[in-house]
């Protein structure tokens, strides 16, 4: 079972920041927070991951609370193409043996 809790849906206006929350209160010390998204019925797409420090890449920023029990994915300037289901997943970093377990995610709708 997924070890994260996310709101089922969110809305965001185009051009505004989308802030997607995730609770992972039972996260272990060796587990990272990963974010993926799935646009329509395409294959899931990696966005970003982090352990305890905030992370930023060309797609998004990841803010992890100091106690690591929750995080927020930030899409700084959402576009219509960011409409997707966003998944927050915790798993250990090392080893490809560690599969991703997808929950229901957050369905983000970006509107004009």
Residues near another protein (CB under 8 A): 32, 34, 38, 41-46, 49, 87, 91-104
For residue 51, give every residue at least 6 positions away whose Cβ sits within 8 Å of its Cβ, in sequence order, or none. Answer: 32, 33, 64, 93
* 96 vs 112, beta carbon nearer another protein: 96
CB of 13 to another protein, least distance (A): 27
* 25 vs 98, beta carbon nearer another protein: 98
Closest to 51 (Cα-Cα) out of 73, 28, 74? 28
82: left (phi over 0), alpha (psi -120 to 50) or beta: alpha
Closest to 33 (Cα-Cα) out of 58, 6, 64, 59? 64
* 9 vs 98, beta carbon nearer another protein: 98
CB of 6 to another protein, least distance (A): 12
CB of 23 to another protein, least distance (A): 18
């Amino acid at each position: 079972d997924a070890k994260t809790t996310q709101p089922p849906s969110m809305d965001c206006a185009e051009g505004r920041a989308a802030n997607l929350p995730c609770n992972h209160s039972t996260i272990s010390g060796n587990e990272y927070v990963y974010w993926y998204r799935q646009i329509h019925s395409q294959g899931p797409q990696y966005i970003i991951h982090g352990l305890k420090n905030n992370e930023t890449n060309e797609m998004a920023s990841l803010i992890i609370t100091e106690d690591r029990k929750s995080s927020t994915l930030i899409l700084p300037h959402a576009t219509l193409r960011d409409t997707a289901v966003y998944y927050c997943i915790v798993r250990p970093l090392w080893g490809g043996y560690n599969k991703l377990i997808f929950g229901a995610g957050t369905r983000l709708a970006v509107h004009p």
